[in-house]
């Protein structure tokens, strides 16, 4: 499969990339790891005249902690980096877990977090973990910079709030105050190179008195966008579960299933997916809560 023709640019600063993108507008596409863009171009779903690569810009490949505000992920951080980084594993393990399940080891060495969010696949392995971590994204364009919560970012399959002349420059993960834990489960029909049938991420944070201060669950592949489930947060907020087998987790899981909007396709039926949302949400919540019990 051959790539269509295009012109190639490799700016060395974000500002330069922004002004190129501003100049070419919708005729141009940003290139990060290329694992989505080049596939789409080979299949002739896209034929941009101009390719603007971010890969010669320094300092976009890593995560660092920003005093006071939280963690910053560079948009070119690869899935392999996120899966293996000590910082990510220790501070926000749910993201490391999601990243470790993306594609194959070969794909993970190229696939970036920025590209993953902009592609906005409903089955993304990075979006649910980032949604439960209350991530925000910073976009830069000719009209300046703006930051928005990830939950306002996805609009539909392949559609996001990003304008054609904007670049995703940062992902921010706000500080976590109390004791917290997360969990991620991806369900597929095989172990590698698999598009999820259903995936679920959860994040729990405890208050001083041992009650749940914050609970967030996000689902993949069961709606047109990676989906946060506010009803789960409502059911669990302020609750002090007896242990990980407390029925409140099953109740929350049932609510997650009700919020999901799965479709039937060759990978699985809507009913099966909805039931799996309940089971997997239940399992991730129990897993995260048992981690919390070990920490207190």
Partner 1 sequence: MKKMITLNVNDREYDLVIPVNRTLTQVLRENLKLTGTKQGCGVGDCGSCTILMDGRPVNSCLVLAAEAEGHKIETIEGLSEEGQLHPLQQAFVEHGSIQCGFCSPGMILSAKALLDKNPSPGETEIREAISGNLCRCTGYQKIVDAIQSVAKKV
Ligand X SMILES: Cc1cc2nc3c(=O)[nH]c(=O)nc-3n(C[C@H](O)[C@H](O)[C@H](O)COP(=O)(O)OP(=O)(O)OC[C@H]3O[C@@H](n4cnc5c(N)ncnc54)[C@H](O)[C@@H]3O)c2cc1C
Binding residues for partner 1 (CB under 8 A): 1-8, 10, 31, 33-35, 38-39, 42-43, 51, 53, 55, 80, 103-107, 109-110, 191-193
Which of ligand X, partner 1, none lies near 148, with the C-beta cut-off 5 to 8 A by kind? none
Kindly tell me which residue out of 30, 88, 92, 187 binds ligand X, with binding defined by CB under 6 A. 30
Residue bearing tokens 């603007």: 52
Smaller CB separation from partner 1, 190 or 242: 190
Among 111, 204, 223, 257, binds ligand X (CB under 6 A): 111
Residues 6 or more apart whose CB falls under 8 angstroms from that of 169 comprise 14, 60, 75, 138, 139, 140, 145
Q: Which residues contact 167 (CB under 8 A, 6 or more apart)?
A: 14, 17, 18, 21, 30, 54, 75, 139, 140, 141
Contact 94, 86 (CB under 8 A): no
Report which of 117, 111, 79 is spatially closest to residue 98, judged by C-alpha positions. 79
Find which of partner 1, ligand X, none residue 75 binds, CB within 5 to 8 Å per kind: ligand X
- Residue 118: contacted member of partner 1, ligand X, none (CB under 5 to 8 Å, by partner type): ligand X
Residue 39 sits at φ, ψ, to 5 deg, of -65, -45
Burial of 195 (0-12, 13-18, 19+ CB in 10 A): middle
Residue whose C-alpha is closest to residue 289's, from 232, 242, 257: 242
Shortest Å distance, C-beta 271 to partner 1:
29
Q: What is residue 11's three-state secondary structure?
A: coil
Burial of 90 from C-beta contacts in 10 A (0-12 / 13-18 / 19+): exposed
Give the nearest residue (CB) to ligand X.
115
| Chain CA centroid to CA 7, Å | 30
Q: How far is the CB of 2 from partner 1 (least distance, A)?
A: 8
With respect to ligand X, which residue has the nearer C-beta, 37 or 187? 37
53 touches, from partner 1, ligand X, none (C-beta below 5 to 8 Å by class): partner 1
Q: Is 118 in the site for ligand X (CB under 6 A)?
A: yes
277 binds, among partner 1, ligand X, none (CB under 5 to 8 A by kind): none
Q: Which of 80-88, 115-123, 255-263, 276-284 is the region at the interface with ligand X (rule: CB under 6 A)?
A: 115-123
163 binds, among partner 1, ligand X, none (CB under 5 to 8 A by kind): none
* Residue 27 binds to ligand X (criterion: CB under 6 A): no
Q: Is the dihedral of CA 126, 39, 198, 152 positive or negative?
A: positive
Q: What is the maximum alpha-carbon separation in the chain? A: 62
Q: Cα(154)–Cα(220) distance, rounded to whole angstroms?
A: 12
Query: For ligand X, which is the closer residue by CB, 26 or 39?
Result: 39
Q: 77, 119, 260, 284: which one contacts ligand X (CB under 6 A)?
A: 119
Among 41, 73, 137, 167, binds ligand X (CB under 6 A): 167
Task: Return residues touching ligand X (CB under 6 A).
Answer: 29-37, 39, 54, 75, 102-103, 107, 110-112, 114-116, 118-119, 121, 124-126, 167-168, 193
């Amino acid at each position: 499969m051959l790539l269509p023709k295009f012109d190639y640019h490799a700016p060395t600063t974000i500002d330069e990339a922004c002004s190129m993108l501003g100049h070419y507008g919708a005729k141009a596409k940003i290139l990060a790891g290329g694992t989505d863009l080049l596939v789409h171009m080979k299949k002739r779903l896209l034929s941009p005249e101009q390719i603007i690569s971010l890969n010669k810009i320094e300092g976009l490949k890593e995560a660092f902690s920003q005093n006071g505000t939280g963690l910053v992920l560079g948009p070119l951080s690869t899935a392999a980096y996120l899966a293996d980084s000590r910082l990510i594993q220790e501070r926000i393990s749910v993201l490391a877990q999601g990243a470790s399940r993306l594609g194959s080891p070969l794909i993970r060495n190229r696939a970036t977090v920025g590209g993953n969010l902009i592609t906005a696949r409903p089955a993304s392995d990075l979006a649910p973990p980032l949604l439960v971590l209350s991530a925000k994204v910073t976009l830069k364009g000719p009209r300046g910079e703006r930051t928005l919560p990830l939950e306002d970012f996805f609009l539909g399959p392949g559609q996001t709030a990003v304008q054609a002349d904007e670049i995703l420059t940062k992902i921010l993960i706000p500080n976590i105050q109390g004791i917290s834990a997360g969990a991620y489960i991806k369900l597929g029909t095989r172990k590698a190179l698999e598009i999820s049938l259903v995936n679920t991420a959860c994040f729990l944070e405890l208050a001083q008195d041992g009650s749940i201060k914050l609970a967030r669950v996000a689902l993949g592949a069961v709606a047109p966008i990676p989906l946060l489930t506010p009803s789960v947060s409502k059911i669990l907020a302020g609750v002090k579960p007896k242990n990980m087998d407390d029925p409140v987790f099953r109740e929350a899981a049932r609510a997650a299933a009700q919020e999901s909007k799965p479709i039937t396709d060759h990978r699985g039926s809507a009913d099966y997916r909805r039931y799996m949302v309940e089971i997997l949400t239940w399992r991730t919540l129990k897993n995260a809560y048992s981690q919390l019990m070990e920490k207190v």
